[in-house]
């Protein structure tokens, strides 16, 4: 197996891009990644996307986007793993390059959501849940997270207000990210009084949808000059699955797939949770951020909210999370999200995060969660040349 390096990144702002189609968004991110890497071609394209068939009536995205981006004739496929489609595409690219079968690959995550109306988007998102035994009963994606959060609060005694720091932190970090969907400082009072969507989850617990695309270009590390700068490598990559339905889990309050994939990634990278400088986690809902922190070994079971309350997750804290806004405020263009997390991590590792730059950024971790925890992919990315 060959070690791999990320030599190009690209992203579009997350927004309601009424003037841009799915292929234009993906093409823009790919072009930026190619320019960033100073390349003109790659051998393969992996497209992470969840809902193009439902919301855009367009499948076959591999060929569509390769052709649009000027990469006609290369190997190209779409990868789908619900909200973790983006990281799944990155992992496919990584496995292809690492195996030696492919010498350079782009993973692009893209989602076009805002052409449709709200109830249709809600129904499309719910296709990540069990259609016969969850969705058929009218439960939404927010609803499933609300069921988990309600039980979590009951078992561990937390109040809704205890989750506020996660939303406040993400909103604050997005203020200076030009690609973020939301630029709006929020207070504890705003958090407490936001519109209820599905008790206990209100509007400020939930990430906003949006259109967007992000891309990374991956090559073998040994194809680069030894003094290549910045040398950014993927040191750990692991995926795990769990039951699609929340009700089928042994413990609905524990993200087993996050535990398994993070443990494997730590082992591959030869690190422990204490070595991680920052964590781009999947804060689609406040409760998911909490459960992710616990399953990855950053907090004890039932104690995730403590990390928010103690300021550990802020940019100046011991474990900054959502450093450019996270899903909550950068936005959650579903199938693109996992690639945004990696692009943002690379910005931090390169020292290109501008006002959001962390003082210590040597080892990054990203985690992309599909469904309500059914498919979880963890990456550990290192800067090696300093």
Asked if 164 interacts with other proteins (CB under 8 A), we say no
Q: Kindly tell me which of 75 and 116 has the beta carbon lying closer to other proteins.
A: 116
Judged by CB under 8 A, which stretch of 42-50, 119-127, 165-173, 184-192 contacts other proteins?
Answer: 119-127
Residue 45 and residue 108 in contact, taking contact as beta carbons nearer than 8 Å? yes
Report the nearest approach of other proteins to the CB of residue 307 (Å).
23
d(CA 146, CA 20): 33
**132 part of the interface to other proteins, by CB under 8 A:** yes
Q: Does 120 bind other proteins (CB under 8 A)?
A: yes
Query: Is 296 among the residues known to form the active site?
Result: no
For the window 137-156, what string marks contact with other proteins as x by the rule CB under 8 A? xxxx-xx--xxx-xx--x--
How distant, in Å, are the alpha carbons of 164, 168, 178, 204, 354 from that of 187? 8, 7, 21, 10, 24
Closest CB to other proteins among residues 28, 130: 130
Active site residue 332: yes
- The upper half-sphere exposure of residue 64, i.e. CA atoms within 13 Å in the direction of its Cβ, equals 19
> Going residue by residue from 251 to 290, which x/- string records binding to other proteins, judged by CB under 8 A?
-x--------------------------------------
**Residues 43-82 close enough to bind other proteins by CB under 8 A:** none
Q: In this structure, are residues 313 and 166 in contact, taking their beta carbons and an 8 Å threshold?
A: yes
Our measurement of the distance from residue 360's CA atom to the centroid of its chain's CA atoms, rounded to an integer in Å, reads 21
Stretch touching other proteins by CB under 8 A, among 7-15, 68-76, 130-138, 295-303: 130-138
**Residue 355 burial by Cβ neighbours in a 10 Å radius (0-12, 13-18, 19+):** exposed
Structure tokens at 260: 């398994």
From the CB of 299, what's the least distance to other proteins, in Å? 21
Among 101, 136, 192, 354, contact with other proteins (rule: CB under 8 A): 136
Cα 139-303-324 angle, rounded to 5 deg: 75
Question: In DSSP terms, which residues pair with 79 in a beta bridge?
Answer: 48
- Annotated catalytic residues are 83, 332
């Amino acid at each position: 197996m060959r070690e791999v390096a990320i030599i190009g990144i690209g992203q579009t702002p997350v927004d309601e891009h009424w003037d841009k189609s799915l292929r234009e968004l993906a093409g823009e991110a790919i072009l930026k990644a190619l320019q960033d890497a100073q390349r003109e071609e790659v051998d393969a394209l992996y497209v992470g996307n969840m809902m193009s068939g439902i919301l855009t009536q367009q499948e076959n995205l591999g060929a569509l986007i390769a052709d649009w981006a000027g990469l006609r004739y290369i190997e190209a496929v779409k990868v789908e793993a619900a909200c973790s489609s983006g990281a799944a595409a990155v992992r496919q690219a990584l496995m292809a390059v690492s195996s030696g079968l492919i010498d350079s690959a782009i993973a692009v995550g893209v989602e076009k959501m805002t052409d449709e109306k709200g109830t249709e988007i809600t129904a499309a998102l719910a296709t990540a849940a069990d259609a016969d035994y969850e969705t058929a009963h009218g439960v939404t994606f927010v609803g499933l997270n609300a069921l988990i959060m309600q039980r979590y609060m009951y078992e561990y005694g937390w109040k809704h207000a205890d989750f506020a720091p996660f939303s406040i932190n993400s909103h604050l970090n997005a203020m200076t990210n030009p690609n973020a969907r939301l630029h709006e400082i929020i207070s504890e009072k705003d958090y407490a009084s936001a519109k209820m969507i599905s008790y206990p989850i209100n509007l400020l617990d939930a990430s906003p949808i949006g259109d967007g695309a992000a891309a990374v270009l991956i090559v073998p590390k040994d194809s680069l000059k030894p003094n290549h700068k910045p040398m950014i490598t993927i040191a750990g990559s692991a995926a795990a699955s769990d039951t699609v339905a929340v009700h089928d889990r042994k413990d609905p309050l524990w993200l087993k797939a996050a535990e398994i994939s993070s443990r494997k990634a730590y082992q591959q990278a030869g690190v422990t949770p204490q070595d991680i400088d920052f964590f781009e986690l999947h804060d689609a809902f406040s409760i998911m951020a909490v459960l992710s922190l616990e399953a990855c070994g950053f907090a004890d079971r039932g104690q995730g909210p403590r990390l928010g309350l103690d300021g550990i997750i802020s940019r100046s804290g011991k474990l900054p999370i959502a450093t450019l806004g996270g899903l909550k405020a950068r936005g959650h263009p579903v199938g693109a999200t996992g690639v945004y997390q990696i692009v943002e991590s690379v910005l931090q590792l390169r020292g290109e995060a501008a006002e959001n730059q962390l003082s210590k950024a040597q080892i990054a971790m990203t985690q992309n969660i599909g469904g309500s925890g059914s498919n979880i992919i963890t990456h550990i990315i290192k800067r090696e040349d300093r």
